[in-house]
Amino acid sequence: RIRNPRELGGVRATLETLPEIKGILKVFDQSVVVELASRIGDFEDLRELLNRALSDELPSDLGDGGVIRSGYDAELDRLRSLNSGNKEWLTRLEADERERTGIRNLKIKYNGAFGYFIEVTKSNLDSVPPEYIRKQTMVGAERFVTEELRQKEREILHAEEVGIAREEKLFLEICGSVAARSEALSMTADALAEMDVFLGWAQISREWDYCKPVIRSDD
Q: 157: which residues sit within 8 A by CB, 6+ positions away?
A: 115
pLDDT for res 209: 95
The predicted-structure confidence for 95-105, as pLDDT tens digits, reads as follows 999 999 999 99
Q: How many CB atoms lie within 10 A of CB 112?
A: 5
For residue 107, pLDDT beyond 90: yes
pLDDT for res 13: 96
pLDDT for res 83: 84
- The per-type count for the chain, helices as H runs and strands as E runs, is 6, 4
For residue 109, pLDDT beyond 80: yes
The secondary structure of residue 216, as a DSSP letter, is: -
Confidence label for 7 from pLDDT (cuts 50, 70 and 90): very high
Task: Provide the strand spans (E) within the chain.
Answer: 107-111, 115-121, 133-137, 141-145
Confidence (pTM): 0.74
% pLDDT > 70, the chain = 100
For residue 112, pLDDT beyond 90: no
The mean predicted confidence, pLDDT, of the chain is 93
Residue 74, φ and ψ in degrees, nearest 5: -65, -40
The predicted-structure confidence for 37-65, as pLDDT tens digits, reads as follows 999 999 999 999 999 999 999 999 988 88
For residue 80, pLDDT beyond 80: yes
The predicted-structure confidence for 140-184, as pLDDT tens digits, reads as follows 999 999 999 999 999 888 888 999 999 999 999 999 999 999 999
Q: What is the mean pLDDT of residues 81-92?
A: 89
For residue 195, pLDDT beyond 90: yes
Instruction: Classify residue 208 by burial, with Cβ atoms within 10 Å: 0-12, 13-18, 19+.
Output: exposed
